[in-house]
Amino acid sequence: MSATVATMTESEMAALRARFPQVLSVDLRRIWLQRAIVAGVVGYLAFCCWVFEITFERLFGGLGKMWIVLRSMLVWKDMASWDYLGILQGLAETLGMAFLGTLVASLFAVVIGFAAARNVMPNRILHHLLRRFLDLLRGVDTLIWALVFVRAVGLGPLAGVLSIMVSDTGTLSKLYSEAVENVDRRPIEGVRSTGAGRLKTYRFGYLPQVLPVFLSTSLYWFESNTRSATILGIVGAGGIGMQLSERMKVQYWDQACFIILLILVTVGLIDTASKWIRMNIIGTRTL
C-alpha cells in the first residue's frame, strides 16, 4: 500500500472507508457542535468586552500606567529609610493570625466535627442543622468576616484571628466530620466489647484513627491561611496586608514590591516546613 491520498482512486478510497469506518468517517454533528461552542465563547467574550467597557484606549492606557508601576517597582530608592521593623512586625502578625486562627478553629472543630458526623450523631435533624450552619460559616468569605470583626472589635490582628477562626471552624468541622464518618468500625467494636464507656470509646476507638487526618488537614489549612491572612490587612484586620495596602495607596511601589517578595518567600518557607512536618511527624504524604 504505497499509494498516498492524492494518487488513490475513488474505489480504493471507498474500500478503505468501508474497512476503517471509525477512522475515516467525519462526524458532522461533532464538528458543528465544536464550531457552535467556539462561536459561543467568542460571542460571550465580545459581549463581556462591551458590558465591562473594555476598549483599546483603556487597555493601552492601563498598560502604559502598568509600565510606570513596573519600572518604579524594580528601582528601589532610599532603602535605608524603609520601615523594616513595621514590615517584619506585620509579617509576624500575619503568621500569628494564621497560626492562632487555625489552632482555635481546630479545637472547635474536634468537638463540632464529632457532633456533625452521621455515625456519632444519630439525630438526623440535628445533624442536618449543624451541617447547614457550618455551610453558612464556610460560605461567607474570610475577608467578609474580617470586615465584620473589624466593626466589632476594632482595627488590628485580633479581628484577623477571629475571622480566620470562624470561617475555618466551618471548613475544618466539615472535613473532620467526614474523617469521623470514614472511620473503621472494627476497632470501635473492639473497644466497646471490653466494656468501655462512651468517652473511652471516643478516646481509644475513634481518636487514634482520625487524629493523623485531623492534624494533616489542619496543617494544610494553616498553609492556606498564611496566604489568605496576607490580604486581611486590606480591610484593617492587621498583618502584612495593612503595610502593603498603605504603601500601595501612596504609590510607594518599590516598597510594595519588596513586601510582595517577602510574602512570597515566607509562604514558600511555610509550605516547605509544613511538607516536612507532614512527612516526618504525622507520617502521611497525602492531605
Partner 1 sequence: MSSQTMSTADGGAATSPVDRFERHRAELQRGRQRATLVYGALFLAALAGSVYISNFFPDRLAAGAPKVGDYLYDILPVLSAEHLFAGTKTEGSIAYWYFNLPKYLQLLLETVNMALFATILGTFGGFLMCFPASRNLMPNSWIYFGFRRVMEFCRAVPEVIFAILFVWAVGIGPLAGVAAIAIHSTGALGKLFSEVNENVDHKPMDGIRSAGGTWFDEIRFGVVPQVLPNFVSYALLRFEINIRASSIIGFVGAGGIGQELYYVINFNFYEEVSALVLLIVATVTCVDLLSARVRHRFIGKEHLA
Residues binding partner 1 (CB under 8 A): 41, 44-45, 48, 51-54, 58-59, 61-63, 65-66, 69, 89, 92-93, 95-97, 99-100, 103, 135-136, 139-141, 143-144, 147-149, 151-154, 156-158, 160-162, 227-228, 230-231, 234-235, 238, 244-245, 248, 251, 260, 263-264, 267-268, 281, 287
Shortest distance in whole angstroms from residue 78 CB to partner 1: 21
State how far the alpha carbon of 171 is from the alpha carbons of 8, 19, 139, 216, 257, in Å: 65, 57, 9, 14, 32
143: Cβ–Cβ under 8 A, 6 or more apart, which residues?
Answer: 163, 228, 231, 232, 234, 235
| Contact call for residues 119 and 181 (beta carbons, < 8 A) | yes
- What are the cell numbers at 196? 468501655
Q: Which is nearer to partner 1, 115 or 282 (CB)?
A: 282
Q: Which is nearer to partner 1, 201 or 255 (CB)?
A: 255
Shortest distance in whole angstroms from residue 63 CB to partner 1: 8
Q: Which is nearer to partner 1, 97 or 188 (CB)?
A: 97
Q: What's the burial of 96, exposed, middle or buried (CB within 10 Å: 0-12/13-18/19+)?
A: middle
Shortest distance in whole angstroms from residue 122 CB to partner 1: 26
Shortest distance in whole angstroms from residue 79 CB to partner 1: 21
Q: Which is nearer to partner 1, 87 or 147 (CB)?
A: 147
Q: Which is nearer to partner 1, 109 or 231 (CB)?
A: 231
Amino acid identity for residue 101 in this structure? G
Listed in sequence order, the DSSP H helices in the chain are 10-19, 21-24, 28-51, 56-74, 84-115, 124-139, 142-153, 157-181, 185-193, 198-201, 207-232, 240-249, 253-277
Shortest distance in whole angstroms from residue 214 CB to partner 1: 15
Phi, psi for residue 53 in degrees, rounded to 5? 55, 50
Chain centroid to CA 53: how far?
30
Shortest distance in whole angstroms from residue 216 CB to partner 1: 12
Q: Which is nearer to partner 1, 32 or 60 (CB)?
A: 60
